[in-house]
Amino acid sequence: MMMIKPASIVPATLVASNVPKNDAAEWAPARTDYAKGEKVIDGTHLWEWLSDTKGNTAVKPSADTTVPSKWLDTGPINQWRMFDKSAGQLANASGAQVQRQIFQIGTKTSNPGSIDITLQPGTVVDSVALFGLSGYRVTITMQDSVDGVVYGPEEVSLVDPAASNMWEWLFTRSRRRSRIVLTDLPAYGTASIRILIEAGPGEKAECAMVVVGALEELGEALFGGGFGITDFSTKDADAFGNETFIERGYRNRVTYPIAIYDDMVSSIRDLLIEYRTKPAVFIGDIDREWSLIYGRYKDLNVTVPQPSFSECTLEVGELI
């Protein structure tokens, strides 16, 4: 059982991307004629002007502290949705409309043909995880300014070859993998990582989350774990049994039973306490795709059934 501690990805980390910043025009401080509902780019986020009265008065969207808010943070631009899930949400506080930050699920970066990015983490990383993928192939390359290419190009097919018989192999539609994790990168602190996601002709490459970071061991994953979903759709029935459905998003969840050797209990406890409100990548078995998840665990309860090891169960809810 392992966990990837995500390295921070900020604008300086993304040194190259083929995904254009064309969601809207850049914010212009000289403009005073923004109309209600008009959107602009400020930094890596898309902002919407809320005021009924035209007049920007040079309020920078990301620095807006007015009450009520003049700008709404609608979330990252397309280029940054694979790194950032934060967005603003309007709420009432003491009778005034204020903006609070939320963690948005269901958003993806998409681009026709391919997504080609290069990251410079600036810290030691040895793992890469990608979630919410759409395409047919991912290629990872790690290059150091002194040593040159130190990893890859490592090609990973997203086409799942699993088939129970020849008829199924020939005539049924192949399944595509939506998540991959690589944990064998050399531990460099100065190297850049190129990630290429390729889609077929006329298709869009998509990715919901990119994580680069350092691998941490959490113990031994035990059999008895499982997975499911939390569905946010509504399903109602009237007095006659007629049903209505409103389809909404859902969230994957995975439960991991873990055995922890006695000499590792304190360090793993401290690590998990540090990440009680932070998302990370959890890996039950790297060969079982359902056990790979980016999210936050719910609670931590550790029992000590024997002197040599302890046991705990982590329930992780996905955040993509």
- Domains annotated on the chain, with CATH: 2-16+109-216 (2.60.120), 19-103 (no CATH), 220-318 (no CATH)
A 10 A CB-CB count for 126 gives 18
Side-chain half-sphere CA neighbours of 52 within 13 A: 1
277: left (phi over 0), alpha (psi -120 to 50) or beta: alpha
pLDDT at 318 over 70: yes
Q: For residue range 264-314, what is the model confidence (pLDDT) as tens digits?
A: 999 999 999 999 999 999 999 999 999 999 999 998 888 888 888 899 999
Which stretches does DSSP call E strand in 124-246?
Answer: 127-131, 137-144, 148-157, 159-160, 175-176, 179-182, 192-198, 204-207, 209-217, 220-221, 226-231, 234-237, 243-246
Q: What is the mean pLDDT of residues 240-246?
A: 93
Instruction: List phi, psi (to 5°) of 180.
Output: -140, 150
Q: For residue range 10-55, what is the model confidence (pLDDT) as tens digits?
A: 999 999 999 999 999 999 988 878 888 999 999 999 999 987 766 6
> Of 106-120, 167-181, 216-230, 241-255, which gets the smallest average pLDDT?
167-181
More confident residue, 173 or 253: 253
Question: Do 15 and 119 meet the contact criterion of CB atoms below 8 Å apart?
Answer: yes
Question: Positive or negative, the Cα torsion across 95, 101, 107, 110?
Answer: positive
**Exposure string (b/e) for 104-118, b if CB count within 10 Å is 16 or more?**
bbebbbbbebbbbbb
Instruction: List phi, psi (to 5°) of 26.
Output: -65, 145
Grouping H, G, I as helix, E, B as strand and the rest as coil, residue 60 is coil
Q: For residue range 61-72, what is the model confidence (pLDDT) as tens digits?
A: 998 888 888 899
pLDDT of residue 228: 95
Structure tokens belonging to residue 222: 């035990």
Question: Positive or negative, the Cα torsion across 314, 176, 116, 77?
Answer: negative
Q: For residue range 98-137, what is the model confidence (pLDDT) as tens digits?
A: 788 899 889 999 999 999 999 999 999 999 999 999 999 9
Strand bridging mode 192-198 / 226-231: unpaired
